[in-house]
Amino acid sequence: MEAPVQFPLGEGGDEQGQPTAVTRAEVSIVIVSYNTADLLRRCLTTISESGTARPWEVLVVDNASADDSPAMVEREFPFARVLANTENVGYSRAVNQAIRSASGKYVLILNPDIEVEPGSIDALAAHLDERPETGIAGGKLLNPDGTLQYSCRTFYTFSTLLHRRTPVGKLFPNSRVVRDHLMMDWDHDSEREVDWMLGACMMVRKEAIE
């Protein structure tokens, strides 16, 4: 049985905006959880309040949590589908597990501590709509205190490894090498190509990984 798909009110949902019996989402939201019930609850709440205009589904992979996360999701967020593992299979394997079950053409991979801002899901999907050559789009990430999280990176070089992965970096924490690698001179208020990004929030074109 396919997971229910959530529609915004007026475009497939009932008067309460609850899922209706449709077979395919445009955006599949994937979250891997391991003992993160409180964070996961907040993440799912912000997803449900995000106001996206596209049909979407949520797949939560639980890696054998001991905090009753699967039951909480099923009880409080009936629009989400829980894939409950009997053992912790690791993050990457759990993500791939959800992607295999995803019906959307875009897969939004989120960490459970992400809080989704209204309009952000549509913005990422619109970017991929407009740029068919783009395989992955990421959003601007903020820390809990509202400061910018440097979520994009340049590729590693020998100098970067020296400053980021050895004690040398502790001597020069704000070196130009580190600042360039973390792209600290970019305010993330514009679009640009990057070498790679953190996996906390990224929308992937599913056909690019199939």
What domains sit in the chain, N to C, each tagged with a CATH number? Answer: 27-139+197-208 (3.90.550.10), 152-181 (no CATH)
Q: Give the model confidence (pLDDT) of 85-138 as tens digits.
A: 999 999 999 999 999 999 999 999 999 999 999 999 999 999 999 999 999 999
Q: What percent of the chain has pLDDT over 90?
A: 74
| Residues in contact with 202: Cβ distance below 8 Å, sequence separation at least 6, in sequence order | 108, 109, 136, 137, 138
pLDDT band (50, 70, 90) for residue 9: very low
Report whether pLDDT(21) > 60: no
Report whether pLDDT(1) > 70: no
| Residues in contact with 11: Cβ distance below 8 Å, sequence separation at least 6, in sequence order | 53, 55
Cα 131 to Cα 86: distance, rounded to the nearest angstrom: 39
Cα 32 to Cα 29: distance, rounded to the nearest angstrom: 10
Report whether pLDDT(11) > 60: no
pTM of the model: 0.85
pLDDT band (50, 70, 90) for residue 209: confident
Tokens of 53: 């205009």
| DSSP letter string, 99-162 | HHH--SSEEEEE-TT--PPTTHHHHHHHHHHH-TT--EEE---B-TTSPBP--EEPPP-HHHHH
pLDDT band (50, 70, 90) for residue 23: low
β-pairing, 27-33 vs 106-110, is: parallel
Residue 180 three-state SS: helix
pLDDT at 124: 96
Q: Give the model confidence (pLDDT) of 158-167 as tens digits.
A: 999 999 999 9
pLDDT at 6: 45
β-pairing, 56-63 vs 106-110, is: unpaired
Please indicate whether residue 4 or residue 178 has the higher confidence score (pLDDT).
178
